[in-house]
Amino acid sequence: MPPGMAPPAAVPGPLPTSLRCNSCGAPLNPASGMALIVCDYCGAVTTMGTAGAQVFQKHFMLDSRIANEQALDVGGKWLNKGLFRRKVAERSDLGQVVLKYVPYWIIPTQVVADFQGTKGSGAGAVVHGTTRGQKAAGAASLALGILAAASAANRAGPAARGVTVQQAQVIRVRDRIQLSYNIPIVAVRGYTKFQPDDGFQFNIEAKRPFDKRATGGLEVMSGDVAEAEAKGQAAALAQKFAEREAKRRVDTLESIQVYPTTYDGELLHAPVWFMEYAHKGKSMFILIDSHSGQVMDGERPAFSLF
């Protein structure tokens, strides 16, 4: 198997017809295909695998620290942030707002990447970005710069309009990136919107052993993604993060070789606000970590000035 490649995902074995929590003895009622079952009584996690049903010991949680109004304020400020967004929150219709404890595999991941590219390749660097919003903002900034330069040339007269701008010298770059992450992978297969993909990390230093009594009565979700599958997803995200970092270091990325290594993880139940809203008829969402009060991921318009 090539270095850094995750092993194939383990398929949970067939669920027994009668299953009890190995921690408190309460009956468990798992749905088909579940890999992680949270006991409704004590909160212990039972994993389903080739070795049968076992209590998973590395199970932690974060406490919820922001209420509904605070979450709405955080989400609204995030929507309005940006040069080309104005009063997006005020012009949007709020939909469903839900807070629940969502299971995440926290996968320690190290990535080494060798890349080469060029720097100083001219105005193209201004347009550079890693997301659609950043690229759109870069393109707009470039357009504004061109208009400003043309305006200045017109004011200076015919002599200035004939002057050409010399391109910056191109410098070849070869470098190595070494990064470490604690990558969260949502353990519920249908919850793709709950998967942060822009490098967000939970504050795992504040974690504590899972205690169902400390959840405040919020829904605690079970999961259907096994740890081996989560490692494969973490390796894919690590490659994306390495490519993004390489693009920050050069104007034009020519080639990159990425070598991710994943390690055994732990299960974290995190309190997450999920907010739906509609802006100009388009449905979008915001994901907020209720422990840190930070936006984990979401969607917002690239331009909204009117």
Percentage, residues of the chain above pLDDT 70: 75
pLDDT value at position 120? 85
Give the chain's residues under pLDDT 70.
1-18, 30-33, 49-53, 121-168, 306
β pairing state of 266-279 and 59-61: parallel
β pairing state of 171-186 and 92-119: antiparallel
Euclidean distance between CA atoms 9 and 266, whole angstroms: 16
pLDDT value at position 203? 97
pLDDT value at position 154? 59
The CA distances from residue 252 to 125, 129, 236, 237, 260, in Å, are 8, 11, 22, 21, 23
Residues 6+ apart with CB under 8 A from 88: 79, 80, 279, 300, 301, 304
Boundaries of every domain in the chain: 58-116+172-298
pLDDT value at position 149? 53
User: Which amino acid would we find at residue 169?
Assistant: Q
128's tokens: 């550079």
β pairing state of 45-49 and 92-119: unpaired
Distance of CA 35 to the CA centre of its chain: 22
pLDDT value at position 123? 46
pLDDT value at position 24? 83
**pLDDT tens-digit profile of 152-182?**
555 655 555 554 545 568 999 999 999 999 9
pLDDT value at position 78? 94
Coil, helix or strand at residue 17: coil
Q: With helix as H, strand as E and coil as C, how does 256-291 read? A: EEEEEEECCCEEEEEEEEEEEEEECCEEEEEEEECC
**pLDDT tens-digit profile of 46-69?**
877 655 667 778 999 999 999 999
Q: Are the beta carbons of 99 and 288 closer than 8 angstroms?
A: no
pLDDT value at position 150? 55
